[in-house]
Amino acid sequence: MPRKPKTVAARPFRYNPDGQLLCDAVPLETLAERYGTPLYCYSASQVRERLALFRKHFKRHDHLICYAVKANSNLSLLRMLAREGAGFDIVSGGELERVRRADKRAVARTVFSGAGKTAGEMDLALRAGILLFNVESEQELELLAERAAKLRKKARVALRVNPEVFAETHPYISTGLREHKFGIDIGRAREVYARAAKDKWLSPEGVSVHIGSQIRSAAPFGAALARVRALVEELAEDGIRIRSVDAGGGLGIDYTAQLGAEEFDAAKEVTEYAAALTEGMRGMQVRLLLEPGRFLVAQAGVLVARVLYRKRNGAKEFLITDAGMNDLIRPALYGAHHEIVPVERATADDSQNAIMDVVGPVCETGDFFARDRAMPDVHPGALIALLDTGAYAMSISSNYNSRSRAAEVLVDGKRVRLARRRETIEDQLRFEE
């Protein structure tokens, strides 16, 4: 009888016998006491485990895993990934500088995506010697050719094509259709590649595709790669040899899984994803570039907040915390769901749930983390943890209401590193007069 594949836990957070919620081996309460709240906590071991999953399932292919920096751009996290040999997917000159500071050698493993690259950003990337530009428009290609000629540095390029594959996800994070701002219509790509091949300072070496984010079905990824394969075959007929295919990112997670539940099996998700891509690119002798972001880091993170007040307005009850939409905007922006759990597990005597809105202190009705959520009977002073906040959380945080951004810690087993100190009002005012 074949052995059942090992299940990879959804999250690195669990309660110990004393009822303390741990990140790896460290109680979150200890971290909150040391560093204050709101506080982002990330598990390094979880990120490495997810990276290893990708490597295992794509080991039969020449591949490079390029972490999507936009998901979480903390330097400590980038350094750890660089040490593991990961590449990076960037979308700005600022992200390029973060990769350079994390590890100068990793710049050569970096692809530059994004629909609005400036001439200055192109110059930075050309001088740095990045791996590849994922070009998203014909005018961008023209500008890149000009900058490359001026600097006398050849630019390796891939066209990001829109494969017209629908991916069921939030409309704000769907990117693979012609009505989106990203990429080039795949029907025009052959003509654009022909022009690029004639330019002395451009080297068309790849094809790139990215159909969206938080996609839970593997089938659309395979369908997109099948369309790319047809394009690669056409380009070969034109004498243009494609050496790499960038499959983008977008593999989603289950934000609704209960803490400790095994409904979400990361190994199974990557197995199905790898199978779909392998089938889609069948017969292509190319290097496969992958750009996971959310899948690597989202479930490795929590946002720890302290309860300030409980109040009732009519029939409505509110749990007011010291974290706000400036710290975590996903619920307000996308209507995103995050599981919320007490940092100290409820006992049998106080486990009765109450229906309430979990909100922050920001002066916006949209400043909420959950509405009409069944919550344990927590009281002012208690700590709560918002799960799955390792991606698109701190990276989209702001100073709205002149609130200072949270501290971040990276936990690795029993070791704790302050990855970003808490911002102060002096930090905010430094550049103002």
List active site positions.
363
Q: Tokens 């009281």 identify what position?
A: 379
Burial 14-47 (b: 16+ CB within 10 A, else e): ebeeeebbbbbebbbeebbeebebbbbbbbbebb
Nearest to 389 by CA among 118, 7, 13: 13
Listed in sequence order, the DSSP H helices in 238-342 are 266-280, 294-297, 330-334
Burial 312-331 (b: 16+ CB within 10 A, else e): eeeeeeebbbbbbbbbbbbb
Quote the DSSP letter at residue 131: S
Give the dihedral of Cα atoms 353, 354, 355, 358; nearest 10 deg.
-100
Q: Tokens 């972490």 identify what position?
A: 67
Cα distances (Å, whole numbers) of residue 127 to 84, 103, 152, 266: 25, 16, 10, 38
Nearest to 403 by CA among 370, 367, 433: 367
Q: Are strands 316-321 and 287-290 parallel, antiparallel or unpaired?
A: unpaired
Cβ neighbourhood burial of 123 (10 Å; 0-12, 13-18, 19+): middle
Report how far Cα 276 is from the mean position of its chain's Cα atoms.
21
Neighbours of 150 (CB within 10 A): 13
Nearest to 367 by CA among 316, 405, 333: 333
Cβ neighbourhood burial of 88 (10 Å; 0-12, 13-18, 19+): buried
Quote the DSSP letter at residue 106: G
